[in-house]
Structures are given as structure tokens and as C-alpha cells.
Chains A and B, each alone.
Chain A
């Protein structure tokens, strides 16, 4: 049962129950909506971009604890970071949850996001954890858009 506790760590449960930045930024200039048709997870990521700088980031949506906590922690990690940082986080995060991190990529820089390391033991839940990040990418690339994990 240890892997269950690795998946649902206190930090994850806290962020799923009390998601941070759970609102719409009124003066956002980028946003995207993401769906996971398998689970019915739905999320909208809002960004206020000043050139390459993520001045503000927030999200709204519904879904399981993993997707909600992942979105919440993502917003706390990326505020005042550049989009370049965001892409780098994205790559490391997705590698980590898919368990593709055999090359020994340094995950330290992910900080609190490392709490999702346990997801790799639950292949059907990988999409839940990565949905907010795919939605983020869509939001950065387009002024607004829709994506789906399927």
C-alpha cells in the first residue's frame, strides 16, 4: 500500500482540497481549456503574459485529486517565471510522471512538484497529472484554445 501513500501525499491532498490560484484572472491575455475524456477532468488555465514573463497564472476546473493538485502546484511553481522555464518544467514533469527519467535528469529543480513522482506507479493516472501542463502549453502558444488528452 506504500505506493498509495506515495501518490496521495499530504501536499497533494492539501492542494486538491484547497487549490491555490483557483480563479479566473480578470485581465488574462492567454487561456486554454483542457479535457480528459476518459475521466471527465476539465481544466481552464489562465495566463497573464508580459512578453516571456508569466506575470500571473490561475486555473478553474473540476476533476480528481491528482489533476486538481497538479494544476494548483503548477500555478504556484510558475508565477513570475519565464515561458522558457515553463517549457523546461513541463519536460521534466512529464518525464517524471511517465517514469521516463532513466537518464538521471535532475528533478531537484522541480521543487515541490516532485511530490508527483509516485504517479509513475499508476499508469492510468498519468494523464490526470499531466493534463494541467498540456493545457498550460496550449495557453502559452495560443491566445485561447482547447486541447484533449485523447
Chain B
């Protein structure tokens, strides 16, 4: 008893999950008569009341179109939208707000870079390097680009633990390598990729690096300048913000030489039928009315996360993951997929010989929400020799009790399907 009490005190000194849980209204609801145990955070996170209220406030008292309005509300909406851009700049440690582009999400971010930077600077016979860990969203946009320009996709392999083989990267890159697209954290296994090392290797050959930070931003303190990433992108909804909003960070010198992504209003400075002058950064990449409420909501979500202290958040989530791994070692029928040394927010597993979808269905009936399937990483599943895995992914509002509920429900699953 003494030890568990000590653990409890230690935990409290890190973060107070009970207090945090009160900030998330959805956690009060019951699922099929059971308290919600939400462990599908790598798919999307729940939203704190502050974010929900910010969106409500925007639509109920500030709603207007931004940038060219001469009236009061437009001025207010513009201030709120551009204020959110500044919050994001600060959160990821970018140099200037002009380097922050709002998009719909990480997927659109990668497509934007592929279709602007890629179309202009990557040509026939050139090579683009990605890794086995990638989500489909960091594979398919590059495949489409390769088809368009006649370039070739190369892939950094992984070992059985789910770690990148960096030595192989050194062999893969050559004079034809024009870009590296790499995830910061694997959505399927939780592997934290040694980004600094990869970027250093790439920059020695003058190769720009595009980082998919969708799974990293919610769990790690990210500073794009320290990383020296050329592009870094993420989704708002995976970091307690709304869906439909995401961010592309790009170094100014790259963004300046890139052609626009979409044409339309707001991305121009003057239009005649003969010639159009494009707007300055970042507006050159933001055609049409953006998701203003989404940007504001994301800004508030990042404020919220910052108020919890990112280092404490990372520490607390690590504790949850370690606790889950510890519990899994007591369950002989459970096989953890991937044993990366550095891991963030995710455990992937299979139970006995059961298919992940059957496990997911039984867990759901116990109020436990996990993800089952290939996690939009089919090439990774193929490399691991699997069809699917179960994935439990954690957020700052999860508790050790949630982990206990997961393992109790897994035990029940064995009883039902065993």
C-alpha cells in the first residue's frame, strides 16, 4: 500500500488528471451504459471546454469575413485569426508568422508541399525519400507527384522493433535525392524518429526535409528552428483543436520561391486578365475564406496545452504508456507490436490469434474506444507481416484507471472470443 500511495503522490506532482478531465465535457458521457474510456486519441482528441466556447463565441459575437473588411466585426475576426497564427508560431518556435500557413489538416499540408515545392523543384529521374513508418498521407501525395514529374520514391527501412535504420538512409540518399518526407512519431507504433539526426544527414547534402508532425505535436515539445526542419506540418484536431484546420510551417526562403497552391481570393495582391500578382506570405498559400473559427479554436487549444506545461504533459503521458506496457507484460496472450526505444502516446498490440476488429468490437461494448486495423499504414503492416493491430493511444486526460479498464476489457474479450 505504501508504494501505491507514493506513486499517487508522484503522479499528482506531475499533473492532476482529475482536474484536467473536468475540462473535457465529453468525458462525462456514458457509452452503452459504461463510462467512456477514450483511447483513440491518435485518431482524434477530445476538445476542452475552452475550445468549444471559443468557437461558440466566434460565431455568436465575432463572425465576419477577414482581411479586407472595413467594418468593426471584420477587424475583430481578422485580429482573432491572425492572433491564432501568432500563437501557433510561438508554440512551434517558428521565426515569423509569415511562415505559418493554415490548411485543412496534415494531409492537405503534405499535398500542398508536394504540389508546389515538389512540382517546381522535383523532376524526371529525381528521388524522394520516405520511410516504412509513414501514414498513407505521407506516401500517396509523393506517389502522385512521382507520377506527375517522373520521379522515384525510395523508402528507409525499419528493424523489427519499429525503429528506422538510419545507416540505410545514408546509403539511400544520393545526388538525385531532392526531398525527404518523414514522420516525427509513428501513428501506428508510437516510434519517435531521430529527427535531428535525419535532418543533419539531409542538410549535409542540401536536401530539404518535410516533417509530418501530426502525432508529435500533441505529445512532444517541438521547436522547428532547433530541429532545423524545412517544413513541419500538423493537424489541429489531434492536439485538442477542431477538425478541418491544420498548419504548414515552412522556412521563409522556401515558401518565397514556391508557386501558390490554389488560386482565388486573398492569395493575390492584384488581378488583371493579363497578369495576377500574388500576395505576400503567408496569404499566397491561403486562397479563399479560410476556416476562421477553426484557426481560433486551434489557437485556444494550444493555449490550453501550454497552460498544462508541455514537459509535464509528456512526462505524464509517458507514465501512462509505461504503465500500459507493464500491464501488458502480465498478459501472456497479448503481443505488443513494435518495441521502439523512444515512444510517444501509442501502444499497438494483438491479442492471442484474434483479429483486431473482433477485439475492437468487444472492447467497444465495454465502453473502451480503441482503433483496430491497418492505421492507414498498410506498407508498415506488410513489413511487420500483419493484417491489422489494435491501437490504444493516450491523451492528457487519460488515467491509470483507463488503462486498467482497457486490460479488464481485454480479459473479457478473451473470455468471449477465446
Which residues from chain A sit less than 8 Å from chain B, CB to CB?
Answer: 1, 3-5, 7-8, 13, 17, 38-40, 62-66, 122, 124-125, 128
A17 to B417, CA, bound (A): 10
Is B161 on the interface with A (CB-CB < 8 A)? no
Contact at A39–B357, with CB atoms within 8 Å? yes
Contact at A7–B388, with CB atoms within 8 Å? no
Pick the residue among B355, B378, B381, B388 that contacts A65 (CB under 8 A).
Answer: B355
User: Which residues from A are CB-within-8-Å of B387?
Assistant: 40, 62-63
Is B57 on the interface with A (CB-CB < 8 A)? no
User: Which residues from B are CB-within-8-Å of A4?
Assistant: 361-362, 365, 416
Which residue of chain A has its CB nearest to the CB of B381? A40
Contact at A40–B365, with CB atoms within 8 Å? no
Give the total number of A-B pairs whose CB atoms are below 8 A apart: 42
A62 to B388, CA, bound (A): 11
A63 to B372, CA, bound (A): 12
User: Which residues from A are CB-within-8-Å of B417?
Assistant: 8, 13, 65
**Given A8-B417, A65-B354 in contact, is the A1-B361 Cβ separation under 8 Å?**
no
Contact at A64–B355, with CB atoms within 8 Å? yes
Interface residues of B in 388-418 (CB under 8 A from A): 388, 416-417
User: Which residues from A are CB-within-8-Å of B373?
Assistant: 38-40
**Given A1-B365, A4-B365, A5-B416 in contact, is the A65-B358 Cβ separation under 8 Å?**
yes
Pick the residue among A3, A8, A38 that contacts B358 (CB under 8 A).
Answer: A8
Interface string of B18-38 (1 = CB under 8 A from A): 000000000000000000000
Contact at B416–A128, with CB atoms within 8 Å? no
Is B374 on the interface with A (CB-CB < 8 A)? yes
User: Which residues from B are CB-within-8-Å of A65?
Assistant: 354-355, 358, 417
A108 to B374, CA, bound (A): 37
A5 to B362, CA, bound (A): 10
Interface string of B338-379 (1 = CB under 8 A from A): 000000000000000111111001100100000001100010
Contact at B357–A7, with CB atoms within 8 Å? no
User: Which residues from A are CB-within-8-Å of B353?
Assistant: 17
A38 to B378, CA, bound (A): 12
27 A-B residue contacts at CB 8 Å?
A: A1-B365, A3-B365, A4-B361, A4-B362, A4-B365, A4-B416, A8-B358, A8-B362, A8-B416, A38-B373, A39-B357, A39-B388, A40-B373, A40-B387, A62-B387, A63-B355, A63-B387, A64-B356, A64-B358, A65-B358, A65-B417, A66-B358, A122-B361, A124-B361, A125-B357, A125-B361, A128-B357
User: Which residues from A are CB-within-8-Å of B357?
Assistant: 39, 64, 66, 125, 128
Contact at A40–B361, with CB atoms within 8 Å? no
A64 to B365, CA, bound (A): 17
A10 to B416, CA, bound (A): 10
Distance of B389 from chain A, by nearest CB (Å):
11
A4 to B34, CA, bound (A): 15
User: Which residues from B are CB-within-8-Å of A5?
Assistant: 416
Other A-B pairs, 15, CB within 8 Å; known A63-B387, A65-B417: A4-B361, A8-B416, A13-B417, A17-B353, A39-B357, A39-B373, A40-B378, A40-B381, A40-B388, A64-B355, A64-B356, A64-B358, A65-B355, A125-B361, A128-B357
Distance of A67 from chain B, by nearest CB (Å):
9
Which residue of chain A has its CB nearest to the CB of B374? A40
User: Which residues from B are CB-within-8-Å of A38?
Assistant: 373
User: Which residues from A are CB-within-8-Å of B358?
Assistant: 8, 64-66
User: Which residues from B are CB-within-8-Å of A124?
Assistant: 361
Which residue of chain A has its CB nearest to the CB of B357? A64
Distance of B142 from chain A, by nearest CB (Å):
21
Distance of A42 from chain B, by nearest CB (Å):
8
Distance of B375 from chain A, by nearest CB (Å):
10
Which residue of chain B has its CB nearest to the CB of A17? B353
A104 to B355, CA, bound (A): 33
Distance of A38 from chain B, by nearest CB (Å):
8
User: Which residues from A are CB-within-8-Å of B416?
Assistant: 4-5, 8
A17 to B389, CA, bound (A): 18
Nearest 10 pairs between A and B by C-beta? Answer: A64-B355, A64-B357, A65-B358, A64-B358, A4-B365, A39-B357, A40-B387, A40-B374, A62-B387, A4-B416
User: Which residues from A are CB-within-8-Å of B355?
Assistant: 63-65
Which residue of chain A has its CB nearest to the CB of B356? A64
A17 to B358, CA, bound (A): 13
A8 to B418, CA, bound (A): 10
Distance of A12 from chain B, by nearest CB (Å):
10
Which residue of chain B has its CB nearest to the CB of A125? B361
Interface residues of B in 307-353 (CB under 8 A from A): 353
User: Which residues from A are CB-within-8-Å of B388?
Assistant: 39-40
Distance of B8 from chain A, by nearest CB (Å):
32
User: Which residues from B are CB-within-8-Å of A13?
Assistant: 417
User: Which residues from A are CB-within-8-Å of B362?
Assistant: 4, 8
Which residue of chain B has its CB nearest to the CB of A65? B358
Contact at A7–B361, with CB atoms within 8 Å? yes
A5 to B361, CA, bound (A): 12
